[in-house]
């Protein structure tokens, strides 16, 4: 199955979390379902122009906080044009690329994969699916929505794990 969230989610459970602000609540909720806070390497394939723009500030935050950004070629070009350093990686159907996203996923070189579906061309569908499926298969956190990715990155950059507190209901 393609791990893109839709209206009908076939999950086995739900998690609701509260925090002092959105960043804390979001981190608590994602940590509680098994996400890990990324330490160093983030792979981004940002899809359509709107998603690229939506992720721009988040990518600036990643760079400012010392993360290494890896990006598929379209995303790499967009980031470069906007002054953000990243390392280009080839799509799954580009095995001769200097760095190939599938090899890097299989070697667990990424701490987070952001893959925003772009359009319904056969190539986009196959490559996007391969990236998303492999991230899940290799237990690498995957985000498929630009707004959620931006919020998660903001949370990771603003909060340290040690700052996340468990409180009783009456403390909120």
What is the residue whose two structure tokens read 């799509």?
91
Residues 6+ apart with CB under 8 A from 146: 46, 47, 50, 51, 54, 55, 116
DSSP string, 29-50: HHHHTT-----SEEEEE--SHH
pLDDT value of position 7: 46
Report which of residues 169 and 80 the model is more confident about. Answer: 80
Proportion of the chain above pLDDT 90, given as a percent: 66
The answer, yes or no, to whether residue 11 has pLDDT greater than 80, is no
Domain 40-164 has CATH 3.40.50.1380: yes
DSSP 75: H
**Cα Rg of the chain, angstroms:** 16
In the chain, what are the domain boundaries? 40-164
Mean pLDDT of the chain: 90
DSSP 142: E
Q: What is the pTM of this model?
A: 0.87
pLDDT value of position 87: 98
Weakest-pLDDT range from 12-16, 110-114, 128-132, 152-156: 12-16
pLDDT digits (tens, 9 = 90+) for 14-47: 777 889 999 999 999 888 888 888 999 999 999 8
pLDDT value of position 172: 79
Q: Which two tokens stand for residue 111?
A: 């701490």
pLDDT value of position 53: 96
What is the residue whose two structure tokens read 């609701």?
16
pLDDT digits (tens, 9 = 90+) for 139-156: 999 999 999 999 999 999
**CA-based angle 118:123:124, to the nearest 5?**
15
Q: In what order do the strands lie in the sheet with 68-72?
A: 87-89, 68-72, 41-45, 112-115, 142-143
pLDDT digits (tens, 9 = 90+) for 50-104: 999 999 999 999 999 999 999 999 999 999 999 999 999 999 998 788 899 999 9
Q: Which two tokens stand for residue 131?
A: 């990236």
Q: Are 112 and 139 in contact (CB under 8 A)?
A: no
Q: Are 92 and 131 in contact (CB under 8 A)?
A: yes
């Amino acid at each position: 199955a393609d791990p893109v969230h839709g209206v009908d989610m076939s999950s086995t459970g739900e998690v609701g979390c509260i925090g002092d602000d959105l960043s804390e609540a979001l981190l608590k909720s994602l940590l509680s379902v098994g996400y890990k806070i990324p330490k160093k390497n983030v792979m981004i394939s940002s899809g359509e122009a709107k998603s690229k723009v939506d992720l721009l500030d988040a990518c600036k935050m990643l760079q400012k906080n010392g993360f290494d950004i890896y990006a598929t070629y379209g995303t790499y070009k967009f980031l470069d044009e906007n002054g953000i350093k990243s390392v280009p990686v080839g799509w799954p159907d580009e095995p001769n690329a200097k760095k190939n996203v599938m090899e890097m996923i299989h070697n667990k070189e990424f701490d987070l994969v952001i893959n925003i579906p772009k359009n319904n061309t056969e190539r986009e569908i196959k490559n996007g699916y391969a990236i998303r499926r492999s991230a899940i298969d290799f237990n690498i956190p995957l985000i498929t929505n630009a707004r959620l990715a931006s919020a998660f990155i903001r949370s990771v950059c603003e909060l340290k794990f040690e700052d996340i507190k468990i409180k009783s209901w009456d403390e909120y």
